[in-house]
Amino acid sequence: MSSSLRARTSTRPGQPAPERATGRGARAVIARLVLGSSAILFIELVLIRWLGSNVLHLSYFTNFVLLGSFLGIGMGFLISRKSWSILPLSSVLLMLLVLAVQLFPIRLNRSGSDIIYFTSASPSGLPAWIVLPAVFVVVAALMAGPGEVVGRCFGQLDALTCYRWDLIGSLLGIGLFTLLSFLRAPSVVWGMIAAVMLVALNQRGFKVVTAISGAGLILVLLAESITAGVSWSPYYKVQTWGHRSWDGATLVAISVNGIPHQVMAPADWILAQSAPTYQQYRVPYERTNSLRLDNVLVVGAGSGSDVAIALSKGAKHVDAVDIDPRLVQIGVRRNPDRAYADPRVTVHINDGRAFLQSTDATYDLILFALPDSLALVNGASQIRLESFLFTDRALRTAYEHLKPSGVFAMYNAYRQPWLIDRLAETAAAAFGHRPCVDQTASRRAVITVAVDPANQKCAAPYAPPSEVVSPATDDRPFLYYKGGAIPAMYLWALAGIMLITLLTVRLLGGSFRSMRSYFDLFFMGAAFLLLETKNIATFALLFGTTWLVNALVFGGVLVIVLAAVETTRKFRTPPLPVVWGTIVASLVMAYVIDPAWLLSWPFWPRLLLACVVGFLPIYLANIAFAKRFAATEHAQSAFAINLLGSILGGCLEYGALVTGYRNLLIVVGVLYLLAFVLTPKRDGALVTV
């Protein structure tokens, strides 16, 4: 979450600030502020999760919802200066948005070559160039209501006191959402909580309208939640259904976020099929001269079919790793071979890369079994759940966990031929010799490589083209990005976001000239969001892309920001020039310490150093922010500029495709340098605060 200005609000620049609440009135304002901030974080996370699961374009553009939320909060702060209110519309807009998504479902069109995603679905519904801007605008409008509540509260209390309670409310919101993710609560529960929050925030005269629209929201989500076979994991909306195949076998199909994902069938039936879809399951066992199966690792175990096949081939022990507990649970209950009930199987709910880095076991066979996640890590617009599994270092780690006679294999349906060549060359670099590559119809391929090249039995030598895309790395884990310029559709979309933001801020906030004294806050907002993105990527690499790691990073950032605010409130901190100097020093330290150096460290030392390196710049930057924030007089204009910077930071995040995540720190440093240069001297903020 951006370190957006939560400042005291005055009606117009040049007018006196409103009177501050005291005593019981202040406590009531704090309670409303905490509820409003909790609602902002909770509803924002719910929208990212639910819309990403139902609007398939958003499965790969989650930051559209995030940036729309930022804009909405800023709109709310600007509206809080005015006599009218947008809050009563929030519940109505939320209900209409959910209803529209259910009535007009979207299927992903993957026909273009410039899209950085992987899987397929039948194209239908409105095109992305209509859906994405519409979602962005509607999300911004409905989030303006809770933002307005918080903005009005900021006008009644001391600035840093408001910021403190705003952060506490934000922590409560993210904690509630994390708890519901842990419990795998259905969407109707999310809707009920959001509806209750909005009813509680509205004034008495609008509670009936808000309650009616909230009831409509709950009914729509209830219909979804009671649909046969629908459930929620921490990552997806999951749906299962069973049917019989042409030769009588009972199959159980699983789709996630509306995309066909897995099929459970008896292992013997799968191995007997001649269709290209099923050949991939046999090939890893056929491309070696000798293969022991004393210890097998299956990454992407899912509902258990690959595990059942390994057992049918004689595996004595299988470590089954999958990031999604719900898919494994479905496998436990419905897999026809009951693979997870077999005493030879040990289940690990974990990120595949994180498991490889943490285990000391060695294996006869390691399978990367269809590990395509169909989801992005929240807060990082181009990191998928499996991104760090296919980097050069990841395959080298797999090599290091194989026995001398061991074999590694990965298989999937690949959208482009260059993906197959890229992965084959990555495997060749990791193992020191070329793998076997078996390609079938529908872009399916199996890449098999043995530790000992003499143990390989390839159907035909792998002959890569003259130019192969270089391997993905831990710093640039973008397997499905071919390189070169950022695709045009991304640039057009981001330009549209900035244009909408500029027009909105100009319409509600007045002339930009009146905001020029806060241009330093513009760059602080952009820098902070990029810094947060870099931390999400680093912690995902070091500890896995699981939902829990992601939630802890978001929560940790809020705790560090709160610590910076409390430091500024209770202690005399150095002048701003000194603080800026420490920020630069901390960024240099973060740049010099390559996260890859920490991968081999034990968990607790790795966590400690990662927190110091990642959170120290955030702590220092927010001390500078709090000091500058305390010196502002007209918070609406300052907030609008800071918000615009946050949205720019979200757009600049796509630059990681070209620069890599480590070099984002250079961009962050430049942005903070500009903020330092532009900090007004006449406010006395640079010297005396």
pLDDT tens, position by position, 490-529: 777 788 888 888 888 888 877 777 777 778 888 999 999 9
Same domain, 219 and 279: no
- Domain of residue 430: give its range: 265-455
Same domain, 205 and 92: yes
Rounded to an integer, the average pLDDT of 83-92 is 91
Same domain, 282 and 200: no
Same domain, 141 and 277: no
Torsion angles phi and psi, residue 406, rounded to 5? -75, 165
Q: Is residue 446 assigned to a domain?
A: yes
Same domain, 177 and 271: no
> Over the chain, what is the mean pLDDT?
84
Q: Is residue 488 assigned to a domain?
A: no
- CA 227/CA 172 separation, integer angstroms: 30
CATH of the domain at 413: 3.40.50.150
Same domain, 553 and 677: yes
Q: What is the pLDDT of residue 637?
A: 65
Give the number of domains in the chain.
3
- CA 536/CA 604 separation, integer angstroms: 18
Rounded to an integer, the average pLDDT of 622-639 is 76
Same domain, 293 and 168: no
Contacting residues for 586 by C-beta, under 8 A, at least 6 apart: 616, 617, 620
Residue 380 has pLDDT above 70, yes or no: no
Q: Is residue 493 assigned to a domain?
A: no
Same domain, 325 and 394: yes
Torsion angles phi and psi, residue 369, rounded to 5? -100, 95
Residue 179 has pLDDT above 70, yes or no: yes
Using H for helix, E for strand and C for coil, what is the string for 37-78?
HHHHHHHHHHHHHHHHHHEHHHHCCCHHHHHHHHHHHHHHHH
DSSP 361: -
- Asked which of 455, 474, 490 is the last residue of a domain, the reply is 455
- Asked which of 455, 477, 501 is the last residue of a domain, the reply is 455
By 3-state DSSP, what share of the chain in percent is helix, strand and coil, each rounded to 5? Answer: 60, 10, 30
Q: What is the pLDDT of residue 3?
A: 39
- Compute and round to an integer the Cα radius of gyration of the chain: 26
Percentage of the chain modeled with pLDDT above 70: 87
Q: What is the pLDDT of residue 683?
A: 43
Kindly indicate the confidence band of residue 126, based on its pLDDT and cuts at 50, 70 and 90.
Answer: low
Q: Is residue 508 assigned to a domain?
A: no
Percentage of the chain modeled with pLDDT above 90: 45
Q: State the burial class of residue 601 (Cβ atoms within 10 Å of its Cβ: 0-12, 13-18, 19+).
A: middle
Q: What pTM does this model have?
A: 0.86
Q: Is residue 489 assigned to a domain?
A: no
Quick: pLDDT tens for 245-286.
656 677 888 888 877 788 888 898 888 887 777 888 889 999
Torsion of CA 592, 594, 598, 599, to 10 degrees: 180
E runs forming strands in 248-350:
250-256, 259-264, 296-299, 318-322, 345-349
Residue 547 has pLDDT above 90, yes or no: no
Kindly indicate the confidence band of residue 171, based on its pLDDT and cuts at 50, 70 and 90.
Answer: very high
Rounded to an integer, the average pLDDT of 339-357 is 95
Kindly indicate the confidence band of residue 379, based on its pLDDT and cuts at 50, 70 and 90.
Answer: low
Residue 307 has pLDDT above 80, yes or no: yes
Q: What is the pLDDT of residue 412?
A: 86
Q: What is the pLDDT of residue 154?
A: 81
